[in-house]
Structure 1
Amino acid sequence: MRAHPMVGDSLLAAALFTVDVLIFLLEDLPMPAWYVTVPLDLLLVLPLVIRRRHPLWSAYLVLLFALPPNLLRLGLAAVFCTAIAIYTVVVYAGRKQGAIYAVASMATHLLAEFVMAEPDWVANAVTVTLIFVLCWVLGEYVGARRAYHAELEARLHLLETERGQAARIAVAEERGRIARELHDVVAHAVSVIVVQADGASYMIRSNPELAERAVQTISETGRGALAELRRLLDLLRGEGRSGEPRVPQPDAATLAELAERVRGAGVPVHLEVDGELNDLPAGVSLGVYRIVQESLTNTLKHAGPGASATVRVRQAADTVEIEVTDDGGNSGALVAAGESTEVPGGNGLIGMRERAHVFGGTIEVGPAPGGGWRVRASLPVRLAP
């Protein structure tokens, strides 16, 4: 009906027309000949076909064409078409237009009953009035529901727009923070290159072997800095450095301190480190730290009382694997039983994904099989030059 309104309204008009024709054929009532009755009934029901596309035009055409059938007592289509028209005007044109049309319709039908002066005209007038009032009330109800649904859809659209804007803002803020951190990493690399170059220039004649090691360090540091600088240029948005205090950037080697701080906040953390994390590039090491930090923060905020967490960091040949799981505390049993629990995420989850993707890594976030929550990430150990 909503996709093809004229088809549904055509069926409604055909049904009313058929009822009136059957009354003409089967009932022994004093009516004009068929060549008068059928055209009048057809003219009466045809405006219903356009009632939802042009509600006012349809309604007033029904009011005009209903007068002869009312006077000639041609079946039931005149009353029911007018009642449908009242409902249509209230729903699609508004309460004011519906009130005007309802008064005009009732006046027309009451005038026809008075002119015909039949013995039961009072009962007929009361019945018609009740039908019209019922259609008015139904139109009010449906119109109110349509307005409510329209407002609800508008609010949902606004919420979706605001959510999308909040996500974009969160991504921009996280990228800005990553850019500032990478800037510090590159500045550190340049400082190392300068110090090593000065040392090599002094040792090139007196200690060539030491000078050679310094040059190798310069080469490795420069390659790493170029890779991170290329990502920095992709992330920068032209913002100047804010007034935030300059503090040493954390890295994967300080995960033990992070775990200790979370334990002090009340969540037992078991830390397992497999491999030498001191050899990671500074940007990757910082990414490992931030992902673990955000995962443990989500455990603090969203896990139930008595929750505990496990952090596993393993360095393979080309990647560093990160897995942070928590048992969900008291809410872990609900997850295992299939009941819903609060899902961590929001801007923090967006930030973790953005941080993993900026280094060419992957991240998976979701419920753990036995209950609780799990974050798994994989970052490349060496950045492509």
Structure 2
Amino acid sequence: MLRRIQVLPWIHTAYDISIAVLVGFAASRYGEECDQLIGWAMALALVFRRRRPFAVMGLVAGLALVQYVLAEYPDPMLASAPAAYDAALLVAMVSVVTHARAMWHIWTAGAVVLLGVGVEAGFGLPGARDAEGDVFSLVAFGGVCTALWLTAMVLRTRRLYVASLEARAATAEREREHLVRLAAAEERAEIARELHDVVAHSLAVMILQADGAGYVLKSDPGKAVSALKVIGDTGRDALADMHRIVRVLRSGRKVSGVIEDPDTETGRLRVSMDDLETVAERARAAGLKVDLVVEGVRGGLSTADQLTVLRVVQECLTNVLRHAGPGARVDITLRFCKDVILISVVDDGAGKLAGSARAAAGTSGGNGLVGMRERVEVSGGSFSAGPRLGAGWQVDAEIPVQEPPLRTKG
């Protein structure tokens, strides 16, 4: 395509030179004193008809007027009129109609040609040698010039239409590429949220349990065994989630769409509100004092809503573990209303890591808060998080309830 674009100007130049040579050759067949000078001047002007169509039209029309005057008034006459090289005037008119940008240039070019036809037919300047009007010539040549002008207008309209289609196609292609880039960015963000939720929460629980098991290994082997069991269960769940995400990436399916389908045989995650108790229990095993309160009926929620609620609560507990540490108290309140889910997670900031680490978290705005905000906003809800007066942290989320998809048999 690029090679074609580069070669096309050379073809146009060769075509214009060929027309100019033909006009000059036609002028050379006339023997009056000024015919060749006028004809070759017209021919030379046609070489630039694509670059300056209206200027070329004016120059050729002026030369045609000089030709008419030299043919009608001097005795003997110094030029032939009409002559074959007068076709340069028609070529210049077509060039204006085809290439000019202003419409008044196009109408002016047509009017000049029709005026020239009228002058040549004998309805022109007073005192000319051939001053008798020839209506037949006026109608015949005027009709031919009008038909040529209309044909050029049709070609111009078609060329502009094709150009507009090409512009639309190019715009559509750019928009399509932009949408692909946006979809890829959205997909990467969803994958990043999933990986962060799985890895950050699981590793936080496993690290704290491992530290605790190492601390009480000799003094209280029973607690160490319990902590190791929590580590194993958490690791297996995290590994299962990682396998699921890897299968999704290999199959090229959309992460959010895959999660919403509870078919575990295809590597898709089954999520229910019962997992909240498991998440809270693991946080308690890691040293947090978790109080989970559920108000209202929590049945009939779509898988996407259940997953959003679970991930928000899970991430809040992970942040408390990381920034406040064991010993902090966390109050989780879930209110299931008719068309909205209200989530409130409040901690007292009284853990072993409270202080400088929690202050730094308040100003950093890590991936966990960003991921929770994106999840809630994708569901059409609202999200807010920030430090409380005194000590601690509070997270509030409001998630509109979506109707679960209907499943058909068969």
TM-score, normalised via structure 2 length: 0.49
| One-letter identity of the residue aligned with 1:294 | R
| One-letter identity of the residue aligned with 1:52 | R
Moved more, 278-287 or 90-99: 278-287
Of the candidates 34, 39, 42, which is equivalent to residue 41 of structure 1?
39
Kindly state the Cα deviation for residue 289 of structure 1 after the two structures are TM-superposed.
4.0
Of the candidates 55, 63, 81, which is equivalent to residue 73 of structure 1?
81
Per-residue CA deviation, residues 102-123 of structure 1 (Å, 9 max, x unaligned), is: 1122213321331443889444
C-alpha distance in 1, partners of 2:208/2:141?
Answer: 98
The equivalences for 1:324-343 within 5 A come to none
Whether 2:156 is the aligned partner of 1:143: answer yes
Per-residue CA deviation, residues 23-59 of structure 1 (Å, 9 max, x unaligned), is: 43xxxxxx524xx221121112221111110011000
Identify the residue that residue 3 of structure 1 maps to in structure 2: 9
Identify the residue that residue 198 of structure 1 maps to in structure 2: 212
Kindly state the Cα deviation for residue 293 of structure 1 after the two structures are TM-superposed.
8.1
Overall identity of the aligned pairs, in %: 20
Per-residue CA deviation, residues 124-164 of structure 1 (Å, 9 max, x unaligned), is: 33332122112211111111012112211221121112112
Cα distance change of structure 1 residues 288 and 278 upon mapping to structure 2, 3 Å threshold: farther
SS for the counterpart of 1:73 is coil
Kindly state the Cα deviation for residue 184 of structure 1 after the two structures are TM-superposed.
1.1
Kindly state the Cα deviation for residue 281 of structure 1 after the two structures are TM-superposed.
7.2
Contact 2:23 2:40 in 1 (8 A): no
TM-score, normalised via structure 1 length: 0.52
C-alpha distance in 2, partners of 1:52/1:133?
Answer: 21
Unaligned runs of 5+ in 2: 1-6, 72-79, 123-127, 258-264, 268-410
Contact 1:86 1:132 in 2 (8 A): no
Identify the residue that residue 111 of structure 2 maps to in structure 1: 103
Identify the residue that residue 229 of structure 1 maps to in structure 2: none
- Measured on the aligned residues, the alpha-carbon RMSD in Å equals 3.8
Kindly state the Cα deviation for residue 282 of structure 1 after the two structures are TM-superposed.
4.4
C-alpha distance in 1, partners of 2:240/2:60?
Answer: 81
Cα distance change of structure 1 residues 55 and 289 upon mapping to structure 2, 3 Å threshold: closer
Identify the residue that residue 139 of structure 2 maps to in structure 1: 126
The structure showing larger relative contact order (alpha-carbon pairs under 8 Å, at least 6 residues apart) is 1
Unaligned runs of 5+ in 1: 25-30, 222-276, 299-309, 313-385
C-alpha distance in 1, partners of 2:203/2:81?
Answer: 98
| One-letter identity of the residue aligned with 1:165 | H
Kindly state the Cα deviation for residue 197 of structure 1 after the two structures are TM-superposed.
2.4
Cα distance change of structure 1 residues 40 and 2 upon mapping to structure 2, 3 Å threshold: same
Instruction: Kindly name which structure, 1 or 2, has the bigger radius of gyration based on alpha carbons.
Output: 2
Q: Report how many residues are paired.
A: 233
Cα distance change of structure 1 residues 141 and 13 upon mapping to structure 2, 3 Å threshold: same
C-alpha distance in 1, partners of 2:252/2:51?
Answer: 59
Identify the residue that residue 187 of structure 1 maps to in structure 2: 201
SS for the counterpart of 2:217 is helix
Per-residue CA deviation, residues 328-380 of structure 1 (Å, 9 max, x unaligned), is: xxxxxxxxxxxxxxxxxxxxxxxxxxxxxxxxxxxxxxxxxxxxxxxxxxxxx
